Structure 1
Amino acid sequence: MTKKIGFLSFGHWTPHPTSATQTASDALLQSIDLAVAAEELGADGAYFRVHHFARQLGSPFPLLAAVGARTSRIEIGTGVIDMRYANPLAFAEDAGAADLIAGGRLQLGISRGSPEQVVDGWRYFGFEPDDGESQADMARRHTLVALQAIEGEQFAQPNPRPMFPNPPGLLRIEPYSEGLRERIWWGAGSDATARWAASEGMNLMSSTLKDDESGEPFHVQQRKQIEAFREEWATHDHGFEPRVSVSRSIFAIMNDLDRRYFLGTRDAEDQFGFIDSTRSVFGRSYADEPESLIEDLRRDEAIAAADTLLLTVPNQLGVEYNAHVIESILTHVAPALGWR
């Protein structure tokens, strides 16, 4: 299956001499530069992880808009925005503006979020679950409101004496970007949430972590999650075909520097553990000479099932090195697997 291939950056920055991103400014500006470099190399997507209260990328829309203004073709996305922290209507406004700047290239990954740096950090952003509601329920509630606003629902009663003339009828969130609603992805951590995403008409974004629901290898469980998503989607009439992405750490060993950084890393096998009292499985990383790497990747059932592959990149190694990582996969791996 041919695939769209992009990168996913967590945007770490560390004030340490060995880090190429020592400040938040470094992380942001280098993220823009890497997106430009990836587009020049022929990659299909530039995606960014969002974490709050952390030395990582935290406020996505200024970055997405800047990348949109500096590029012309590459998809620009998130993987993922934690909707526990999001004001749904402000989210819809910012998303619409950034998508218009980018010419309709946003691919927004959102989710219920993962463990953060502070306890219940969304409380500091002014949000509380309703009575009887979990924080995951709150994230899904925020999501459904945001989806309606992004779709252009007219809901707000106009002022009878406005400062400027209004169009007739109820008002919607502006700016509205046509088509953005079909480019929203849900980061699903289980089969059930993948089915929920399908029922609500969102594309599926699945990373290197999911609930351990069978004890099988990660890529097998993820492939089954993708199948569950597509089966549920087929029972609805959303009016468009869904997309599915998976994320992987993949490094083709092309030179001594690659070998020093990645060959023989300890995460070459799946890992099982607990997150928030839920048993989870963490997918392995891939690092090898191209011929061996190709054979390993050929056996990954979830990559085979997905139409989009996001390469997680070590952003603290700098733009030039990460462009090399992306180019190595595009040039020496993807064609042999029929991805390009």
Structure 2
Amino acid sequence: MDDRTWTIVQFSEDLTVEAIPTSWIQGEWCHWPPFKQEKLTTSIKKCEALNTNWPRHTIKIFRNATFDDYAKARLKAKVAEDFSDLNSESECKGKRKRIQKMLSSSSDESLENIENTKLPPPPKMCKLSIKPNANDTVSSANLGQSKFEETFLKNTPSSSAETMVHQTVSNTAVKSYGNANSIKEWPDALMSFLFIIKFWWRLKNQNHLIRGILVNVLNEIRELNNNKVETTSTSIFVKFPDIQFPIENDEDFHKFEEELGNEGNFNEVVNELAKFGGSNPYNFIKRSMSSILNDSVLKNYSWLGRKGKKSLENSLTAKALLQAAEKCLRCNRKDVELAIQSFVKRSSERMKNKVNKNNGL
């Protein structure tokens, strides 16, 4: 069952209205991904999982504005956008009632066209401006502090640490300029404070993005390390210099079997054979087995050792081939055994064809 939902919210910074995945909302905050337009649209439609490293913005949530259909949520968001600029408390009440009424309506006549609507860019931080009149005077320290909080603190996200910094700046400005006769004596210093904190806030958002990128890179490196194939091992064709590959006599074949009795050698041979690969079990056996055993040896063997031939079933070479096939193809063991039987059975036929080819027949 699909439990994805979208909620209509209004961003406090620029008063834009948007339908966003409900999982992106945390209290009065919304995490907004720093993606380009196409990827952003896809993320919202698919309800991409929340990443707390995304920048966050303050929002207002409309009541009864959560939907399990994205197209309907976008349509309702478009309706709410026309009434989102609330200028006064009285207008706010009336317009919000109209929004709630329209949001609760069941009209879906524009759902077909809403998918092509272009999403707005992420909200931008509010630019603060303080332009006091020359005739304005500061009657008390409280007046200076209230103006400062009105223009800056109200539009800046707050946490326990950030609020402490903002309050410190506010108190410093009030102590330095709160008792001045004219407000025009302190805007330059106050704007310096605002510039520093705004710059700090941007650095913090960039730090969140960098942290997110680093986490993804570290995860990829970890995954590569986990799936890394050992490449420093010596090839089996070099590791056993006393054996000539492909093996053409029983003596060398017995030497190879003795070398496979060592667990370390056996594992290296399995890894080496697994690198041959193949489109199917028979193709893999043909590629790998022909590099180890010549047909002149295989003609004396059969899988079960019938008709006077030697058994290959219990040999370490066969076990290494089975494990290598399962490792690289993830196939059924029975299919690999049948492939070995078929390849060994045709050894005499291959030798005959090779002789005819050399004789030009």
Higher relative contact order (CA 8 A, sep 6+): 1
TM-score by length of 2: 0.18
TM-score for the superposition, normalised by structure 1: 0.19
Rg larger in structure: 2
Q: Which has the higher helix share?
A: 2
